[in-house]
Structure 1
C-alpha cells in the first residue's frame, strides 16, 4: 500500500529524511571535473579524466584538493594547497553547469514532501557551493535544513553534521539516504538506518555495504520509506 497525498499511518508522524548530495541527489562529477581541470590548468598541470576526478569526490574539498595535487606529484599539504583550495572554492560557487539531478529525483522528493516527510541535506561539499548546486537544479526549496562540509568543525563520516540535522528536523524517526562508503559509515556512526542509492559514486559492491534498503531508481524511494517505517 502507498499513499502520496498524506502520511497514511495515523498513529505516527512521517519520518524525517536526511540526504547526501553528490552522487545521491545530483550527479555533480561533470561539474567538479570541469572546475578541477580549470584550477589545474591555471597552475600549469594537465587535465585529469572524469572517472579519476569522480573517484576523489565525497570526502570534502580538502580531500579533493589533496588528491589533485598528489596526482600531479605535489605534496598534498604543500605551498600550492591554499592557492588551489581557494581557487576551487571560488569557482565552485559560480561554475555550476554540469550539475544534474538523477532521474526521478524531483518527483520523488515532491511525493515525500506531500507525505509529510521533512527533509534535509547533509553534504561534505561546502555550504555555499552546495546551495548553488541545489539552486541550479531547482531543489533548494524542498529542504528546510541544508548543512555543508564547512557548517561544523567536522565532516562526514563523523556523525556531528547528521546529528545537527536530526536536531533541526525534530522527528523521532529519521532515515539517512546516500550513495557511498562514506555515507554508509556516517549512517552507522549516527545510529540511523541507511538507504543506499546504488547509481552514485560507490566503489564497494552493494552486498558489502551495510544498509537497510537499496534502490537504483528514485521512483522506488517513497514506497521504501513507507514500508520501512510501517513495520
Structure 2
C-alpha cells in the first residue's frame, strides 16, 4: 500500500484570502498600511514567522525587528478562525476518495501551525480523510527539513510514500526526504514548474489518482 501525504495551503485549499486578510488586519492594528493580496500570497508556505517577517520587510520595517513578535502573536490569536473565505480546490474531495478506494492512506504535512490546521480541516469537513496531520509546530523542525514528512510517513506505517504539494518548499522537502513529488500547479508557487524537482505536475485533481497509480506501479 502507498501513503500519500499532502501539503495544505495552496495544495488542497485556497486559504490565501483569509491569510492575507489576517495579515492586513494585524498591519492596521500596528498602524501600518495593508498590502495587496497578490503580494501576500507569495509569502505563504514557510510558516507564520517567515510570513510576518516578509510582511514587515514589504512594509519598510526590519523583518526581525521589534514588531515581529507582537505581530506573530496577533496573527496567531485569530488564525484558528481565519477561514471565512477559504475554499477547497475543485475535485479535491473526489480525488481523496479515489485514493482511499485504491487502498492508499492519507496524511497532511504543512508548515501551517497545527491548531489552525485542525480547525480549518474540521471547518471544511476534510479531517476524516487523513490518518495523520503534522503542522509547522508539531516538531522542532519544519519544512523543507524532511523530518515532519518522514514522521508522517512513519506514523502511516507504509514504506512507499508520495508527497503532493504546490510550492518550492514542498519540492525541496520531497527531495530532502527522497520521496516522489507531485506538484499542483494552481497553488502559490512562484518558480516555473520546470525549474523545480518533481515526478509529475497536474493542474486538476481529477488527474491525481492516475498519477499516483503510475508511481505505485513504478
The alignment partner of 1:124 has SS state of coil
Shift of 1:52: 0.5
Q: Distance in 2 between matches of 1:194 and 1:95?
A: 29
Q: Distance in 2 between matches of 1:68 and 1:138?
A: 30
Q: Which of the residues 32, 42, 53 maps onto 1:66?
A: 53
Which residue does 1:43 correspond to in 2? Answer: 30
Which residue does 1:108 correspond to in 2? Answer: 95
Q: Please, what TM-score do these two structures have when normalized by structure 1?
A: 0.92
Which residue does 1:191 correspond to in 2? Answer: 178
Q: Distance in 1 between matches of 2:72 and 2:52?
A: 6
Shift of 1:95: 2.3
The alignment partner of 2:186 has SS state of coil
Shift of 1:185: 0.5
Q: After the TM superposition, which parts of structure 1 deviate over 4 Å for at least 4 consecutive aligned residues?
A: none
Shift of 1:29: 0.5
The alignment partner of 1:177 has SS state of strand
> What is the RMSD of the two structures over their aligned residues, measured on CA atoms?
0.9
The alignment partner of 1:51 has SS state of helix
Residue 226 (str. 1) matches residue 189 (str. 2)? no
1:57-206 map, 5 Å: 57-206=44-193
Q: Greater Rg, structure 1 or structure 2?
A: 1
Q: Distance in 2 between matches of 1:152 and 1:90?
A: 20
Q: Distance in 2 between matches of 1:51 and 1:25?
A: 19
Q: How many residues align?
A: 218
Moved more, 78-87 or 185-194: 78-87
Structure 1 stretches lacking a partner, 5+ long: 1-12
Q: Is the 8 A contact 2:143 2:173 kept in 1?
A: yes
1:14-69 Cα shifts (integer Å, max 9, x gaps): x1001001110001101101111111111111111111100100010010011111
The alignment partner of 1:162 has SS state of helix
Structure 2 stretches lacking a partner, 5+ long: none
